[in-house]
């Protein structure tokens, strides 16, 4: 059973609680057209100290999160949507830069987990 019945791409505007700026949440499905700036943004966010320490330091044995890792993230996201198993979204600031991501890690409402970074 699919959680998301809406056709892709999904794009939602959200308001930042602290500064009232409008951010965009965008599905990373096969309709997602990424740029090389997106790849740089993903790598930069994943190498921020708190994000890196929490998610990647152990997994990457202290190596930096590379641009290849960002390409893998995009492919992982496409595959999740294609297989209707998990759903990844990027979060863009008002300038259009990726500043985070969130994902729904299951297509089962009873087992769904939401991750945010």
Alpha-helical (H) ranges within the chain are 36-46, 49-51, 67-82
Point out the residues of the chain with pLDDT beneath 50: 1
Closest CA to 42 of 8, 18, 72: 72
Residues in the chain: 117
Please state, in angstroms and as integers, the Cα–Cα distance from residue 91 to each residue in 52, 60, 83, 101, 113, following that order: 18, 24, 22, 5, 18
Its pTM stands at: 0.87
Beta bridge partners of 97: none
Considering only the C-alpha atoms of the chain, give the largest distance between any 2 of them, rounded to a whole number of Å: 39
**pLDDT given at position 1:** 43
Domain positions in the chain are 22-108
Alpha-carbon distance of 96 to 50, in angstroms, equals 22
């Amino acid at each position: 059973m699919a959680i998301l019945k809406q056709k892709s791409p999904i794009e939602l505007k959200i308001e930042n609680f602290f500064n009232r700026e409008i951010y965009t949440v965008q599905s990373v499905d096969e309709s997602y057209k990424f740029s090389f700036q997106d790849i740089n943004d993903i790598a930069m966010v994943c190498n921020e100290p708190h994000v890196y320490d929490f998610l990647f330091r152990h997994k990457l044995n202290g190596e930096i999160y590379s641009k290849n890792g960002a390409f893998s993230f995009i492919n992982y996201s496409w595959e999740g949507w294609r297989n209707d198993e998990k759903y990844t979204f990027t979060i863009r600031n008002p300038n259009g830069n990726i500043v985070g991501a969130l994902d729904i890690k299951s297509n089962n409402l009873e087992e769904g987990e939401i991750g945010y970074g």
